[in-house]
Amino acid sequence: MNSNTENNVRFEIIVVFLSVFAVVMSGVRGAPQVPCYFIFGDSLVDNGNNNQLQSLARANYLPYGIDFPNGPSGRFSNGKTTVDVVAELLGFDDYIPPYATARGQQILGGVNFASAAAGIREETGRQLGGRISFSGQVENYRNTVSQVVDLLGDENTAADYLSRCIYSIGLGSNDYLNNYFMPQFYDTGNRYTPDQYANVLIQDYVENLKTLYNYGARRFALFGIGQIGCSPNELAQNSQDGKTCVEKINSANRIFNSRLKGTVDQLNSQFTDARFIYIDSYGIFQDIIQSPSSYGFRVTNAGCCGVGRNNGQITCLPLQTPCQNRDEYLFWDAFHPTEAGNVVVGRRSYSAQRASDAYPIDIRRLAQL
Report pLDDT digits (tens) over 98-136.
999 999 999 999 999 999 999 999 999 999 999 999 999
Cis peptide, bond prior to residue 63, ω within 30 of zero: yes
Q: Are 226 and 341 in contact (CB under 8 A)?
A: no
Count CA atoms within 13 Å of residue 13 on its CB side: 6
One of 42, 77, 231, 336 is an active-site residue; which one?
336
Q: How far apart are CA 180 and CA 162, in angstroms?
A: 35
Catalytic-residue membership of 362: no
The strand pair at 166-170 and 37-41 is best described as parallel
Which residues fall within 8 angstroms of residue 366, CB to CB, at 6 or more apart?
A: 166, 219, 221, 275, 277
Domain residue spans of the chain: 1-31, 33-368
pLDDT at 314: 81
Pairing of strands 275-279, 358-359: antiparallel
Indicate if the pLDDT at residue 365 is higher than 90: yes
Contact 146, 21 (CB under 8 A): no
Per CATH, domain 33-368 is 3.40.190.10: no
Q: Are 276 and 355 in contact (CB under 8 A)?
A: no
Is 82 a residue whose pLDDT tops 60? Answer: yes
Which is catalytic among the residues 42, 43, 73, 168?
A: 43
Angle between helices 339-350 and 281-290 (to 10 degrees): 130
- Choosing from 204, 280, 333, 357, the catalytic residue is 333
- State the DSSP string of 197-230: HHHHHHHHHHHHHHHHHHTT--EEEEEPP--GGG
The residue-averaged pLDDT of 334-361 equals 97
Cα–Cα–Cα angle for 192, 194, 195, rounded to 5 degrees:
95
pLDDT of 170 higher than 90: yes
What is the spatial distance between Cα 116 and Cα 57, in angstroms, rounded to a whole number? 6
Q: Looking at residue 1, what is its pLDDT?
A: 52
Q: What is the mean pLDDT of the chain?
A: 92
Is 94 known to be catalytic? no
Q: Computed from CA positions of residues 220, 344, 95, 326, in that sequence, does the dihedral angle turn out positive or negative?
A: positive
Clarify whether 336 is annotated catalytic: yes
d(CA 296, CA 167): 30
Dist CA 190 CA 214 (whole Å) = 35
